[in-house]
Structure 1
């Protein structure tokens, strides 16, 4: 007997909590976060990057509790925009949706562009970084439309390989300890070629970058409808994902700083990981590690593409678009059982962003979007129980409302500082997204029965 064809608008529940954790942690891609994102934190705060990552982990736990409570109470593949709509209304839902959409659009090319260096190291080639990023992003979108259970296995296996690459850094760093542990708690930075004390303001300023490296743990909520338990395990999936991500990233970062032959040279280096590998390893080891890192980034983008597909699928089901697009986005592939058109929606614009020439600018704008979305989640976590008493909140974050309040304060502080440092182009882009959200809600949103009932 042949299996029944997948029903459009309905995701088939196939995932266990462990499967969701595997996909979620892979989407965070701890290895590429350490190799691609952490160097920005080291450039910002020197050895204070360690404290930045610790503070970001504490703040991320507050967000994780918010995600866990919201994900259990408002189970939906739409995630953040659904929570904002249900707690604060349709206008907030549309604005959050566009912010999340922009964030998901930028993350794949940012990661792919940063990873091209490691492909060239692994192969001993000089491929153009933009071409490599384009190929990686395009291939990730094509693989992302396959059966999610298959992708859970693929991402899980690749995750083990990237952890193995990070263990090499851990072994080299701690096995060749050159710096005292005090450098972790007494931040140092290079200023005008001289190593000196790093101000706490620099450490706090790098917390946003550290949050970017952890970002994605909340993506577990996007697979609530794919879970065999009906989404009951969402809080566990979010918290386990964050715990694993922090452990996998913080340990090699610590080893990196402790194992630096010269802290001054490492902080000044544009490639601190390469500096450690060349100091304590050999060319073969460097190539193997670089190959592992490149594979991890590829793996991460596949996992992120899966999440993108769920968000777009949900937006079509909630009729956020014109009727033709809504029908297309809710179409489930008969063989792969995935929302394939929804998954491919951002493929072309995301691939084209690979040709952006400034990785630092793309990263800073993405961090701004991430912190803005975190602020929205924190506000939803703070007010959901109060404003939506009709919804059962079966998972309660500890000591509510304190974690949500701390999350609001932390995200607000970071957003204020990032906003003051942001370029006028970035700020105008965000204002443009808000303006578009007003237009969309004033047209399709108010006419959408599905969105109004959401």
Structure 2
């Protein structure tokens, strides 16, 4: 579908629902990349999420991240082709609907919405220690998490161009912090690069070889750290230029993310004075920085990490606001909600009601679950979404011959097959290693809820059926 067709459809639905106008195409590819990478928040991914991989795989975490990078590249190629062919602020659910039909598309929408609401809570829950380290304060975890989530949603309704500058400035600080960490690790290495090829894992106070059984489950954590490059598709209707620009934004976002996460993680593993002490530490990355620097540097790094979390949540809020805007435009809710979600702020040109609505579940999640539980659940659900995208990338050229594929990935169908097989295997090993089947219960509950909501509203939407 050409860009003019997509924009025309959006305007027609906006008129039908009584909205003032549709989203303005005001962002360059660079702007979209800045917002997208900010949403991934490489610094907080390294400090808040990557420690789970280190505890799982020890120095094998670098291999886990390399394997995760290969899978992420396969996923990015799938996103790039699908987003160029099915350009929409709805992202994954629009792709799934146009390839597989209404019900699969709606289930994908609920899955993406759930992940998008959970991730701000995951990131915010781990932010307080960094603020306290930077300022020398003792604020509570929930208080800090609540403050940054609420403020992020308020800032998220600003003009998208303004937010591109805000997130870009914060991202610059974030990258400088990661460069500092990389310098600390590479300038004082405590092990050779060969340790990455023969990784070790701390177990009962000693080091043992890290086997595939430890490394593969940590690939899921790596994918979670990289996750967000595909969120560039939520800004497709804010992006200037042709449909190929959406594909460019996805691919450039991933390349930046891989670079700024893999380099400092490698430096941390090589520079850690003791793998045993690092694995036992409640803050493994902080342990390495403290050992290799001084309190002043640690405070600077902590301030940068806190800003990166704040920046990430702002970017995610912008993206998920577009997702809910798109769902209202496709009449997936009751009519009053559809009208509210598609209302564009006359000054900020943003779907402000859709954006602020999602602050409610994100805030409530801060009080009902732990960081570990949220991380495990979102990794599993994320892998399911990736498998849907891989299947759609396999089928789109065949099923939707009527749609112009403005970008065609190289070596098709190999990338989607790699993505599908890799995501399926990682999901299987992740669930096999889980201590309890809580994630399955949550995903099952979401499925039941989604089917009920589809029967009540979405299946009656003419706009969604004709999408």
Correspondent of 1:192 among 178, 188, 204: 204
The CA distance in 2 between the partners of 1:421 and 1:365, in whole Å, is 13
Which of the numbers 449, 455, 460 marks the counterpart of 1:436? 449
Matches within 5 A, 1:51-450: 51-356=63-368, 358-422=370-434, 423-450=436-463
**Aligned residues, how many?**
449
How many Å apart are 1:263 and its aligned residue? Answer: 2.1
The 3-state SS of whatever aligns with 1:270 is: coil
Q: Gaps spanning 5+ residues in structure 1: where?
A: 1-5
> d(CA) in 2 for partners of 1:130 and 1:227?
36
Q: What secondary structure does 2:244 align onto?
A: coil
Q: Please tell me whether the aligned partners of residues 320 and 355 of structure 2 are also in contact (alpha carbons under 8 angstroms).
A: yes
> Is 1:14–2:60 an aligned residue pair?
no
The whole-number CA distance in structure 1 between the counterparts of 2:332 and 2:164 is 29
- Once the two structures are superposed, residues 377-408 of structure 1 have per-residue CA deviations (whole angstroms, 9 ceiling, x without a partner) of 11111111111111111210111011011111
Give me the whole-angstrom Cα distance separating, in 1, the residues matched to 2:454 and 2:281: 47
Helix, strand or coil for the counterpart of 1:355?
Answer: coil
User: Which of the numbers 33, 49, 61 marks the counterpart of 2:45?
Assistant: 33
Is the contact made by 1:114 and 1:359 (CA closer than 8 Å) also made in structure 2? Answer: yes
Cα offset, 1:421, TM superposition: 4.0
CA deviations on 1:402-429 (whole Å, 9 max, x unpaired) are 1011111111112222333443332122
Question: Is the contact made by 1:214 and 1:246 (CA closer than 8 Å) also made in structure 2?
Answer: yes
How far does residue 442 in structure 1 lie from its aligned partner after superposition? 2.3
Question: So what's the TM-score if we normalise by structure 1?
Answer: 0.97
Show CA shifts across 1:258-310 (max 9, x none).
11112221222221222112212111110011000100110000000000101
**What are the Cα deviations for residues 53-89 of structure 1, in whole angstroms up to 9, with x where unaligned?**
0000000000000000000000000000111111111
Q: Would the aligned equivalents of 2:85 and 2:243 in 1 still touch at CA under 8 Å?
A: no
Shift of 1:230: 4.4
> What is the TM-score when the length of structure 2 is the normalising length?
0.94
Partners of 2:81 and 2:407 within 8 A in 1: yes
User: Residues 77-133 of structure 1, C-alpha deviation per residue, up to 9 Å, x if partnerless?
Assistant: 000011111111111011111101110111001101112111111011111111111
Deviation of 1:446 after TM superposition, in Å, equals 2.2
Per-residue deviation, 1:430? 1.0
Deviations 1:355-383 (A, max 9, x none): 24521111111111111111111111111
Distance 1:176 1:117 in 2: 26
The secondary structure found in structure 2 opposite 1:195 is strand
* Structure 2 CA distance for aligned equivalents of residues 90 and 433 of structure 1: 17
Q: Is the CA contact (8 Å cut-off) linking 1:71 and 1:234 kept in structure 2?
A: yes
Contact 1:162-1:296 within 8 A present in 2 as well: yes
Question: 1:299, 1:308 → 2: CA distance?
Answer: 14
Gap runs ≥5 in structure 2: 1-17
How far apart, in 2, do the equivalents of 1:167 and 1:375 lie? 33
Asked if the contact 2:244–2:407 (Cα under 8 Å) also holds between the matched residues in 1, the reply is no
Q: CA deviation at 1:11?
A: 0.5
The alignment yields a C-alpha RMSD, in angstroms, of 1.3
> What SS is found at the alignment partner of 2:208?
strand
Asked whether the 8 Å contact 2:36–2:228 carries over to 1, the reply is yes
8 Å Cα contact 1:225-1:231 kept in structure 2: no
